[in-house]
Amino acid sequence: MELTIDQALMQGVAAHKAGNVQEAERLYQAILQSQPKHPYASHNLGLIAISFKQIEAALPLFKTAVTVDPDTEQFWISYVDALVKAKSLKEAKRVIKKAKKKGFDAKKLEALFSQSKVTTNNKVPPQSQVNTLLECYQNGRFGDAQKLAISVTQEFPQYQFAWKVLGAIFGQAGKKLDALNANQTAVGLSPEDAEAHNNLGNTQKELGRLKEARVSFSQAIALRPHYAEAHSNLGNTQQELGRLDKAKASFLKAVALKPDYAGGYYNLGNVLKELGELDEAQASYKRAIILKSDFAEAHYNLGNTLQELSRLDEAQENFKRAVELKLDYAEAHSNLGNTYKELGRLDEAEASYWQAIEFKSDYAEAHNNLGNLYKELGRLDEAEASYLKAIALKPDYAEAHRHLAIIKQFAFKDEHYCNMWNLYIDENTSDEQRCHINFGLAKASEDLGDYQQAYSHYTEGNLLRKKCLDYHISEDSELFKRIESSYQQIAKNSRELNNLVTTIMPIFIVGMPRSGTTLVEQIISSLPEVTGAGELSFVSQFGWQLATGVVETNENSLLNFRESYLENLQSVSQGNSIVTDKMPQNFRFIGLLAAAFPDAKIVHVKRDPVAVCWANYKEYFVSNSLGYPYALKDVVAYFKLYENLMEFWGNSLKERIFDLDYELLVNNQEREIRKLIHWLDLDWDEKCLSPQDNTRSVATTSNLQIRKKIYQGSSHQWKQYEPFLNGALDHVV
């Protein structure tokens, strides 16, 4: 039944008195929708706002009530009370005067002043003094501003605005505890000031008091629900507390409230990136940049996201834009260097790293990146110097310790070994750090011939890595099933060679990681017409959904995959028409590759199963997409999945795949290499017999081994650990 306004008001008042505030609010709002200036509905809705300490929301409601019905005394009392609580004392006095003119006895209204906390000490400083204070602060004269603010707070200790400004000044000067005290005072003087709570939260967050900051931001939002900046700040705090979904919700609320909030979109991008929602993250960063074109940090993080998506040219452009906007942006220079390195532009990569170091001499990460570049180039002395510099700047830099351990030969337990050991036993070392340190100590122990100690460190390092990745073998088992079941549809849409035109041809080198794919690429790319592009993510990036049946395979989708792959391959081709892509994991997508690239060659490298499994287990893979190597039972199970899938491909595509046996290659080098080059239909060159002389950059874990001549015996190194394996690898053969 529809209610009249009077009936709705009576029911609202009854609900209000009964404590059912939500129902009362609903009824009052319904009245105002029908009669926007209804005095009693406005007044009572104002009382609800006051009960939730939403003073600013209550004021216009009380003002409406006294304007429409100036003869009701309670309306005047409520309005003056709210003005006093909001510290709007001049306005309160003006309203009292007006009430007197209406014939009201002003004693009740004036009593509100005496009941408030306002004292004779709560005088307001001259406006000129406040203006001077603000001018100094806004013009960056923080010393003068600080002196003025302190002077004002001493003379007018109840003047809350001065405490807020003083808190901002202390925060700008890095005096965090002083800023905390000033902001706490501001909140104490005006508990209903949402901005003061927000400022306090920012200071608490900077001090690492995240739970306190979360409370302050929540209080700011309770006082002002549409406070977009407070929602965003709460999101940042939730993110630091590891509550990513709640952070995402806060950022979404912030940008919904304020659609032109560039900072909100930037923060949303950051949490989306951390959640692995990369497409959504890049869209959010782009929105931030549209709203604020000179947003260097947004360009930087957009570059990071695009780099993770393997969209290297776009990543490069955003890093370049970031350093154009902010010349001394060391992090952007360093990550621009990483992108150049992935694009094979090594001189530019080196220059970018040095540029980062020039702007930030204590930038340990840039020295580490420089070390990685020198390692890939085989310039090991320079790599060692860079890692040592990184460690000197940041002694607990576990990743740099691991990198240094990999490239050096330990003859005894030197200073570096002792430093790693001290980090290993330090209870403050995080799991992630201890994981890196374990792999470093394992390599050192192996060099020293202490295989039992090495095995112990490999075991612990792998356990920590698996814990971090939260991997289960069933993930890959299900994936391989989907790949096999999707192949029939892919095969039906295979491209015809005579319908294709291309200026670039890929050679895919596949197999289990650590099976010898790097050596094979080094051999093939010794030919002058071939570019060795290394481990490219393009097949997975553009073809994953096709290969696993997530999207329908048809002629158009297959052609789009081919074109996207070739376009990106061109960017790393260095001008050559033949490019090797030695991503080992592409063995999973051989069916898709055969269908989309009938003109391409596929080389499958096979190696002794036990040697491969052990080599996987003892390796720290940077990519988080590889989860199986960190438990021996998972490695064995994954190897079985790999063998079964390769048998499946062999049954359908045997003529498209060249099987290269690593053991045969190292035992009869020239014969096997000549067979390979002939099958690839390339011209023979004696350089193929000396892959160690190939000076190209090698980014994989084999980059030290391939700098040496091809040698026999590497497949037997696992036997040093056989006494400790307890037969874990017996069933892999």
> Could you tell me if residue 3 is left (phi over 0), alpha (psi between -120 and 50 degrees) or otherwise beta?
beta
pLDDT tens digits along 555-584: 899 999 999 999 989 988 888 999 999 999
Residue with tokens 């003529």: 655
CB distance 401 to 436 below 8 Å? yes
Residue with tokens 């959904």: 545
> Could you tell me if residue 4 is left (phi over 0), alpha (psi between -120 and 50 degrees) or otherwise beta?
beta
Tokens representing residue 697 in the block:
């950059």
pLDDT tens digits along 140-199: 888 888 888 888 888 888 888 888 888 988 988 888 999 998 999 888 888 888 999 999
Alpha-carbon torsion (295, 298, 304, 306), positive or negative? negative
Q: Residue 314 is which amino acid? A: E
* Helix, strand or coil, per DSSP, at residue 232: helix
CA distance 425 to 156: 55
CB distance 348 to 330 below 8 Å? no
Confidence check: pLDDT of 710 > 60: no
pLDDT tens digits along 386-419: 999 999 999 999 999 999 999 999 999 999 999 9
C-alpha dihedral over 358, 361, 363, 367, to 10 degrees?
A: 70
Q: Residue 216 is which amino acid? A: S
User: Quick one: pLDDT at residue 110?
Assistant: 66
pTM equals 0.74
For the chain, the average pLDDT equals 89
User: Quick one: pLDDT at residue 121?
Assistant: 45
494 C-beta neighbours (distance < 10 Å), count: 17
Confidence check: pLDDT of 707 > 60: no
Domain boundaries, the chain: 5-115, 409-470, 474-731
Tally DSSP H helices, then E strands, for the chain.
Answer: 37, 5
Confidence check: pLDDT of 600 > 50: yes
CA distance 192 to 57: 11
Residue 493: φ, ψ to 5°: -110, 20
Tokens representing residue 65 in the block:
């009530």
For residue 660, the cross-strand partners are: 605
448 C-beta neighbours (distance < 10 Å), count: 16
pLDDT tier at 119, thresholds 50, 70, 90: very low
User: Quick one: pLDDT at residue 331?
Assistant: 97
User: Quick one: pLDDT at residue 717?
Assistant: 81
CA distance 476 to 624: 14
Superfamily of domain 474-731: P-loop containing nucleotide triphosphate hydrolases (3.40.50.300)
CB distance 5 to 34 below 8 Å? yes
Q: Which helix (H) or strand (E) holds 530?
A: strand 530-532
pLDDT tier at 457, thresholds 50, 70, 90: very high
CB distance 244 to 275 below 8 Å? yes
* Alpha-helix residue ranges (DSSP H) falling in 669-720: 669-679
Tokens representing residue 230 in the block:
């407070």
The domain defined by 5-115 folds into 1.25.40
pLDDT tier at 712, thresholds 50, 70, 90: low
Sheet holding 578-581, edge to edge: 530-532, 578-581, 505-510, 601-606, 657-661
Burial annotation 241-256 (CB, 10 A radius, 16+ → b, else e):
eebbebbbbbbbbbbe
CA distance 87 to 189: 10
* DSSP letter (8 states) at residue 631: S
